Amino acid sequence: MIESMYGRSSHAVTETSNIATSQNSPAVIHCTNLAALRDLIKNNKAVAIDFTSQTCGPCRVISPEFDRLIGEANANGTKVVGVSVETPVARDISAEFQIYATPTFMFYHNGEKMSEFKGADRAELKSSIDLLVYTAYPPHPHKKHPFRAINELVMAPAINFVVSSNLDVIFKKLNEIVAENKVGFDTDALETLQNWMKATDYRKNTILPHNWHVVPSKLLLALPVAKLFPLLDILRLLVLNSTIRNYFVEGDKDFVYVQLIIRVLSDDNAGMATKLMLSKFICNLFDPTDHKQSLKLLSTKRVHESSSRDEITRLLVETLLAPEYQLRQASALLAYNIGWSQAQIRQSPAPFDEAWWSELIAAISNAIETESTSEKANDETAFRLIGAIALLLVYSEDPVLELAQVVEVPLHIKHLTSKAHKEHGNWIKKLASEIDDLL
């Protein structure tokens, strides 16, 4: 109540440090030390500073807006450091930066002061932060070009495998495999999960069976890899429910899906059925409309000497060139979702990982070459492969565009488009033309 009346406490810093992070906005740092502030300005590409005071009424109004705008600026992977300086407490900072009135806002790019203004002007604050973001992280130049077909893909949702299996058949198969391998588990819990999926619209139901994840998680570890396919088919359907998808992508502290990929790809006897259902399961972890979730799904955070992005990429590269056309088709949709998510992120200024994108482009190029010579070529696979590489190339940078030419992307696409495509034929031709313009 006191904070709502008078603003944040000037003592909201740790005893061991003069810098603390705001609970409301992790991007905003409270700073009372001149040397620390100088380091922040020197070592960060974009810094916005709110010089404020708890006794200043307009400051109490505009500071929460500053926190919110800094949070929005960092939503897509950009890094804008917001700093809040309580001027009555940090008198040496006030003297150094010549602060005579609050609120005062200053904006720094690469250590150099860009602009400043005084007063609680929301429109001016938003405009100044937008300009700082634009200057530090300019949008991709291809965003200005009318690549209509590619832009339609960017605006469309990601792809999920939504066709339902016969639940009675798939649960029966799972129970048979469990019995064959003599795995002890709670049969009632599995039956409850089956009944819940049959009796409700499980994709939209927000009330989940109690401890729904316990039995599937146990079986993922207990069953032989080659026998995981019915369980993965069930999980593939379950993650169409946004709450369950969030459990795996955001709430799964043990990164079950990462360990699962490692286990499957390390087993020479994994079999096509398990790899196919694993690819579909990972594909369905992409939220069709929320690309920000892919930032966590394709995280580079190291877990067990690997990361989720490393393992998903490894799965993609291996399955794109699989001899089985069903597996290549599933992998093509996974490649498409990865390309879709990256195009969404790169529309806004966002960091670019040249090595990773190069690996993706090379792998998809090889897959297009394989598809162009396959006797069992599939129109859906061809469309998604070309769509995936188009979505990546449109927001790539020059080194990756040059790599695309080195690995003969235009030639492989030309061979693929020379084949008759009854389904998606117009799309394939339009995308091929726009890729040719890009390169």
Catalytic positions are 56, 59
Torsion of CA 133, 135, 139, 145, to 10 degrees: 140
Alpha-carbon distance 394 to 153, whole Å? 11
Neighbours of 134 (CB within 10 A): 11
Cis peptide before 138 (omega within 30 of 0): no
Hey, which residues does 303 pair with through a beta bridge? 306
**CA distances, 171 to each of 161, 191, 192, 260 (Å):** 18, 9, 11, 20
Distance between CA atoms of 202 and 241, rounded to whole angstroms? 6
Q: State how far the Cα of 333 lies from the Cα of 51, in Å rounded to an integer.
A: 49
- The Cα diameter of the chain in Å comes to 78
Tokens of 380: 């859906």
Would residue 329 be called left, alpha or beta, if left means φ above 0 and alpha means ψ between -120 and 50 degrees? Answer: alpha
Cα(321)–Cα(280) distance, integer angstroms: 16
Distance CA 144, CA 40 (A): 33
Q: What are phi and psi of 115, to 5 degrees?
A: -165, 170
